[in-house]
Amino acid sequence: MTHKLCAVVWLLFVIPSVAYSQNFFQLNETDNEQLVFSYQWRDFDDRQQSFSFQVDKKEFLQPLKRYRGFNRERSQRELAHQLNRYIKQQQWQGIQARLTPRQQSVELVTANARTAQKQQQFNDYKRRLRDYYHERWDNYLNANFYRQLTLPPGEQGIIPDHPAIANEVTPTLRPLIQAIGEQLGTNTQRNYINYVASFIQQIPYNDLNNKLDSRGDGFVPPNQLLYYNQGDCDSKVTLMTSVITQIIETPKMAIIYLPEHAVFGIAISRQPGDTAVKHQGNNYVLVDVTGPAAMPMGQVSEKTKFQIETQQYTVVPLN
């Protein structure tokens, strides 16, 4: 069944150059609210590649439609509210939760304890509230698709939970995955990885803030990355995760986080020159899908290679 194309939502032409870029991208919306994505680009062997796929607009954009990057002040306001609601439910008197002056954490404030027994009671309240806080904190991170990450030598932060987000969005990407499968058919794992990597690399890179304490500020889920046709390294590696985990099921996979960067890793046979990291017995060959530089599987920038060699990374397994 054919549909009349009534509106062109996005159209982009880029003149080929040394940098890796799209030859052609078009997003059409039909009169029955279908989105038709069309791509053309040159792969790592300088061969012209193209495909298109169609999705229902509402279903495609619905997952994580209201996703927001982590904000500590917002999270602590929510947790303080939950703590005070819990205090009210327990009918405790003389204690409350409130934000610290800079709103970076929650503190527990009690009335003056006039007896040792009352002080002991307040201490018990605080202990139980701290346990409840940690429980609600974990729930808050999970419910909002955040996770804690530690990078050597100990820098800590809250980032988007890229593996969980990839899993959440995957059902909406099945038409894309099917289109890729139709292009490659029966093929090697490396060929599939390089095909998907070259596709994602040619999507324009949006240079957003990737500092660990704010690296979710510019993040967009895979469906929105495709819709807006741009994204940062974290967004692109999440799209790679959504696609490859559905195409290739057996090998172990991971996201490797580095200072201000993230790359995909998959435990398949290494070829000479491949950059890889070893983690828990698995050798993950790296795939950098950031672009615009054309980097086949196993190739990374000198900066990334240095960070790998000096152990400046954290591995988060996907399966």
Q: What pLDDT does 218 receive?
A: 80
> Is-contact 227 61, C-beta < 8 A?
yes
The DSSP symbol for 231 reads: B
Residue 207: which pLDDT band, with cuts at 50, 70 and 90?
low
Do 287 and 176 sit in the same domain of this protein?
Answer: yes
pLDDT band at 19 (very low <50, low <70, confident <90, very high): low
Q: Same domain, yes or no, for 184 and 312? A: yes
- Does a structural domain hold residue 302? yes
Please report, for residues 125, 153, 212, 304, the alpha-carbon distance to residue 258 in angstroms, rounded to integers and kept in the order given: 41, 11, 10, 8
Contact 313, 302 (CB under 8 A): no
User: Is the pLDDT reported for residue 85 higher than 50?
Assistant: yes
- Mean pLDDT confidence for 98-127: 96
How many Å apart are CA 156 and CA 124, to the nearest integer? Answer: 30
Shared-domain flag, residues 216 and 254: yes
Which among 72, 123, 76 is positioned nearest to 97, based on CA atoms? 76
How many residues belong to the chain?
319
Say what the pLDDT of residue 308 is.
97
SS3 percent helix, strand, coil of the chain, rounded to 5, is: 35, 25, 35
Q: Are residues 241 and 298 in the same domain?
A: yes
- Is 174 part of any domain? yes
pLDDT tens for each residue of 151-188: 998 999 999 999 999 999 999 999 999 999 999 999 99
Tokens representing residue 153 in the block: 């030598």
My answer on whether 161 and 310 are in the same domain is yes
Mean pLDDT of 255-264: 96
Judge if 176 and 230 occupy the same domain: yes
What whole-number percentage of the chain has pLDDT above 90?
A: 86
Residues 284 and 235 placed together within one structural domain of the fold:
yes
- pLDDT tens digits for range 273-285: 999 999 999 999 9
Q: Could you tell me how far CA 299 lies from the centroid of its own chain?
A: 21
Dihedral Cα 14, 247, 194, 238, nearest 10 deg: 60
Judged against a pLDDT cut of 90, whether residue 209 lies above it is answered with: no
How many whole angstroms separate alpha carbon 43 and alpha carbon 31?
A: 33
| Mean pLDDT of all residues in 22-45 | 95
235 and 120 in a single domain? The answer is: no
Shared domain check, 164 and 107: no
**Residue 115 included in any domain:** yes
CATH of the domain at 172: 3.10.620
Expressed as residue numbers, the domain containing 162 is 154-317
Mean pLDDT of 66-82: 96
* Domain end position, chosen among 143, 163, 193: 143
State the pTM of this model. Answer: 0.89
Mean pLDDT over all residues of the chain? Answer: 91
Torsion sign (Cα): 117, 118, 124, 130 = negative
| 45: in domain | no
Average pLDDT over residues 233-250: 96
